[in-house]
Amino acid sequence: MEKNNDRDKRYIYDALYDIIYLPDFIWNIISCPELQHLREVRLCDINSLCLTGGANINRYEHAIGTCYLANECIKSWPEQIPLKKEEERQLLLAALLHDVVQAAFGHSVEHIVSKEGFSPEESFADLILEKTNRPYKYKLATFEPIFFGMPKELVHRISEADIEAIDEIIKGKGKFGPLINGKMDLDNLDNVFRLAYHIGIVRSGEVPLKIAKSLWVENGRLIIREEALAEVRKWYDIRRRLYSFLLLNPEEFSGKCMLREAIELAKMRNKHALSWYVTDYALLLQLFKTPLARLEVKQYLFSLAFHFREELNKGILSKNLLNAFKQKDAKLSSSATVEKGTSGWRIRSQARNYFIEDKKNELSVYRVTVRGEDISKIVQRLMKGELYGCIGIFSTSRIEKSEMLGNTNKRRDLEDGLSQAVKEKFGKTFKYVKVALHLIKDVDKTRRKVTLWTDTGRFVEIGESSKQLLIGVFFKNPGLNMYKIDHNTETIRRIKERVKNYLRDSLQAPNLDEVQLYAEAN
């Protein structure tokens, strides 16, 4: 009956929910460049070669779907808990705009910029109202073009008070925060079922719609009608299966590894290489055009006595210092030069360069080598589908190791160590092997426990939460790409075992286990 009343109105025909009608004030916002640029930003974190149905769903489609669920939630809100029109408007706008400042390729880029203190959930008002420019390249000017030469418009169509209120909801705070940013929220309901639908796991959006119509917030708690609990269990099961594909498939893992590597290299060339509003294709094109990245790799050699500090400060290489070096590394010549930096000294010679780190009780000596990384080649391989070859995916419950592996330099040290370990054991076959690591912190992803109160006053817990660190190990060599590795050969099996043991020792993770490749399909 409701659709008959709306039949002369503008609509969106949605894959999950059929015909969608939205309030008039939403249509006034939809044309803003901040929202429209999401049509060119994927819902997936990578342009998937495996999950082809989900590879090109955009965040605009998801934003509309989340807004629709919020509208249906409001329509079914209990009469005894009245809502103000202002509150309804702010909730709908928060649902529509919750992904506006989400990065291109979603969490793949977010993982990198989060190291600099950026979180899309925490930054909506800051970026829309121009209160910050970290870590993105951002000219603090309203007229800066963000999408096909068009400037921002949200700030002119929504009051600052509403923007601040929307910001609070997106952060998961205030009266409606749990509906947009919680363990099970409208955003996640649409996200999970939209991806699952396009991939082929589910056939309709009936479950998220039923749940949305059964949810409300009362006294800071998320409440659900008792009869909808069966749908929540379906959400949990669908989410678990979907995230197993997204996180455990080797092609997905490899693609994320390559994209992260290309972005990290680009940011080393230019720390402001990203803009918050860049679209997926524009980012890939930007990466492709980035010049060769030259990286310094530091390899620890030995320690020097602290009394050499004084002569290094004076730029002197005494005979005693040269002898101390030559006992460990005979390549240093007396003609080498010393340069003082903020954290140590750089010694440059014709044969080799060194870095001496100034510590409290000793001086640590590193050999410095420079290697070039061609970002354009990584992007070409990614677009061609010539993915890094998967040696294996491993899991450990020691999620605190993500702090160490999240540090680019420490991860590269581990990659160099793994490459050397493979060369030492299998040098005749893999003399020039290069290994890459990528980690995914799986906390509440492949499994997510949700706690709810029902309308009968009952407290309910559904599911359990995952808590593991996933570590993907890959060959970077083009000749050992994803489709040229035969995992049934004895050599590859022995390399995998060597890698697993090396990771166990390096991470002090005796419970490190191997994830069976492609088991998620079963």
Mutual angle of helices 408-426 and 490-507, in 10-degree steps: 140
Count CA atoms closer than 13 A to 71's CA, side-chain side.
16
Cα–Cα distances in angstroms (integers) from residue 466 to residues 245, 405, 469, 470, in the given order: 15, 19, 10, 11
Of residues 202 and 311, more confidently modeled: 202
Give the count of beta carbons closer than 10 Å to the beta carbon of residue 90.
Answer: 23
Residues 166-175: contacts with CB under 8 Å, at least 24 apart: 166/90, 166/93, 166/94, 166/97, 166/124, 166/125, 167/124, 167/125, 169/90, 169/91, 169/94, 170/94, 170/97, 170/98, 170/121, 170/124, 171/121, 171/122, 171/124, 172/121, 175/87, 175/217, 175/220
Determine contact, residues 364/309, Cβ cutoff 8 Å.
no
Owner of token pair 């999408």: 147
Residues 329 and 221: their CA atoms lie apart, in Å, by 65
Determine contact, residues 208/193, Cβ cutoff 8 Å.
yes
For residues 424-450, average pLDDT: 90
Tell me which of 136-150, 215-229, 262-276, 348-362 is least confident.
Answer: 136-150
Tell me which of 87-101, 207-221, 300-314 is least confident.
Answer: 300-314
For residues 409-425, average pLDDT: 88
Q: In the prediction, which pLDDT does 472 show?
A: 97
Residues 147 and 38: their CA atoms lie apart, in Å, by 10
* pLDDT bucket at 467, cuts 50 / 70 / 90: very high
Which of 129, 137, 72, 74 lies closest to 100, judged by CA?
Answer: 129
Does domain 2-250 fall into CATH 1.10.3210.10? yes
Owner of token pair 């509440």: 444
Q: In the prediction, which pLDDT does 112 show?
A: 82
Give the count of beta carbons closer than 10 Å to the beta carbon of residue 111.
Answer: 20
For residues 24-33, average pLDDT: 96
Residues 398 and 442: their CA atoms lie apart, in Å, by 11
Residues 456 and 177: their CA atoms lie apart, in Å, by 22
Percent of the chain with pLDDT over 70: 94
Count CA atoms closer than 13 A to 197's CA, side-chain side.
21
Determine contact, residues 66/95, Cβ cutoff 8 Å.
yes
Q: What residue ranges in 42-177 does DSSP mark as E strands?
A: 145-147, 150-151
Q: In the prediction, which pLDDT does 470 show?
A: 97
Give the contacts of 319 (CB within 8 A, at least 6 positions apart). Answer: none
Query: What SS3 state is found at 34?
Result: helix
Residues 400 and 384: their CA atoms lie apart, in Å, by 35
Q: In the prediction, which pLDDT does 143 show?
A: 60
Question: Domain-by-domain residue ranges, the chain?
Answer: 2-250, 293-372, 388-521
Owner of token pair 């400042």: 101
Give the count of beta carbons closer than 10 Å to the beta carbon of residue 425.
Answer: 15
Per-residue DSSP letter, 63: H
Determine contact, residues 387/500, Cβ cutoff 8 Å.
no
Of residues 46 and 227, more confidently modeled: 227
Q: In the prediction, which pLDDT does 195 show?
A: 97
Residues 441 and 403: their CA atoms lie apart, in Å, by 10
* pLDDT bucket at 132, cuts 50 / 70 / 90: low
Owner of token pair 């990290």: 264
Q: In the prediction, which pLDDT does 295 show?
A: 67
Burial of 255-277, coded b for 16+ CB within 10 Å and e otherwise, reads: bbbbbbbbbbbbbbeeeebbbbb
- In tens, the pLDDT along 68-117 reads 999 999 999 999 999 999 999 999 999 999 999 998 998 888 888 877 77
Give the count of beta carbons closer than 10 Å to the beta carbon of residue 469.
Answer: 22
Please determine, for residue 122, whether its predicted confidence score (pLDDT) is greater than 80. yes
What average pLDDT does the structure give for the chain? Answer: 90
Q: In the prediction, which pLDDT does 135 show?
A: 52
